[in-house]
Amino acid sequence: MSKRPFSYKLNIFVFLLPALILFIGVLIAPIILSGYYSLTEWNGLKTPVFIGLENYRELFTSKSINIMRALKNAMLLALLSTFIQLPFALWLALKLSKKPRGERVFLSVYFMPVLISTVVIGQLWLKIYNPDYGVLNLLLRSLGLGNLAPVKGWLGDKKTALWAAFVPILWQYVGYHMLLMYAGIKGVPPELNEAAMLDGCTEGQVNRYIIIPYIRPILRVSVIFAVTGSLKSFDLIYVLTNGGPNHATEVPSTLMINLLFLRNRYGMGSAIAVMLIILCFVFAVLINAVFKEEKGR
């Protein structure tokens, strides 16, 4: 077999170079800079002062920062996304894959929240949670359960704010995961389903033993997206509560923004950014390992 001429390899390199430069400039370079700034004391104006791992030590020991509460909230969201959002998305995908009447309409309706701006969704749910004219409180009052509504509002009470902030996040991305799983289910060879039905399998058995194992790679991707997305969650929580009341809905990203732009602690904010990158990478590796182990069994 003849070797590729040098000009051919040069052409490949030239065509890939713009994408490579963009990748390095947008992704790799900011990560390296964040790693450097996380080792410094910097207010964004003066020259950064190298302080080693002091930011990381303070991050996990200072009571004024309270990173553990933010991580706990993010992990709770990750659990809810994995064990509530994804199973519901899978159930929807399985139902829609049976070609019900109005299949395309349902797909569009369930996917619509993904397309809507997060700010718009935040404003929508702020109206739903409004203590005076919100739909949720009006519904409770009409059922004679008005006493269940928090006096300070769903987003103003520390006991309910966290759960009230998580509901829109779970609702927004159900359609995204549903569409991924729906596409995977549509790729299952129909002869497998037909053979199973001829052997007397019920619809539930077909789903459990044929469809779900077949779309395992899609499920792995959805789990990775759900967990890492929960760790990086920011925009909707910022619109709804900005981490309040009294840091009850604080997550690492809102804490990072608070440190960066309100306290001018760019070194500490960069330390949180590096921590999030490491956590997302570790969880992605762990999830891949779990799915590989299940495949081996």
**Mean pLDDT of each 10-residue bin along the chain, 297 residues long:** 68 90 93 95 91 94 91 96 96 92 92 93 94 90 88 89 94 96 93 87 90 94 96 94 92 94 92 95 95 71
pLDDT at 297: 59
Helix (H, G, I), strand (E, B) or coil at 88: helix
CATH code, 67-296: 1.10.3720.10
Ramachandran area for residue 189 (φ above 0: left; ψ -120 to 50: alpha; else beta): beta
pLDDT at 274: 96
Residue among 207, 229, 288 at smallest CA distance from 82: 229
CB-based contacts of 60: which residues, under 8 Å, 6+ apart?
67, 68
CB-based contacts of 209: which residues, under 8 Å, 6+ apart?
196, 201
Exposure string of 21-37, with b = 16+ CB inside 10 Å and e = fewer, is eeeeeeeeeeeeebeeb
Asked whether the beta carbons of 222 and 81 are under 8 A apart, the reply is no
Note the Cα 133 to chain centre separation in Å.
Answer: 30
pLDDT at 175: 95
Backbone angles phi, psi at 282, to 5 degrees: -65, -45
Question: What secondary structure letter does DSSP report for 209?
Answer: I
Backbone angles phi, psi at 4, to 5 degrees: -65, 135
pLDDT at 45: 85
pLDDT at 295: 65
**Residue labelled with tokens 């995977």:** 184
Q: What is the pTM of this model?
A: 0.91
Pairing of strands 40-41, 49-50: antiparallel
Q: How far is CA 156 from CA 119, 169, 230, 236, 245, in A?
A: 19, 18, 22, 16, 6
pLDDT at 6: 67
The H-assigned helical ranges of the chain are: 6-23, 29-37, 54-61, 67-80, 86-96, 103-115, 118-129, 135-142, 161-186, 190-198, 203-206, 212-214, 216-231, 235-240, 252-257, 266-296
Ramachandran area for residue 46 (φ above 0: left; ψ -120 to 50: alpha; else beta): beta
Q: List the chain domain ranges.
A: 67-296
Question: What secondary structure letter does DSSP report for 116?
Answer: S
pLDDT at 296: 61
CB-based contacts of 115: which residues, under 8 Å, 6+ apart?
none
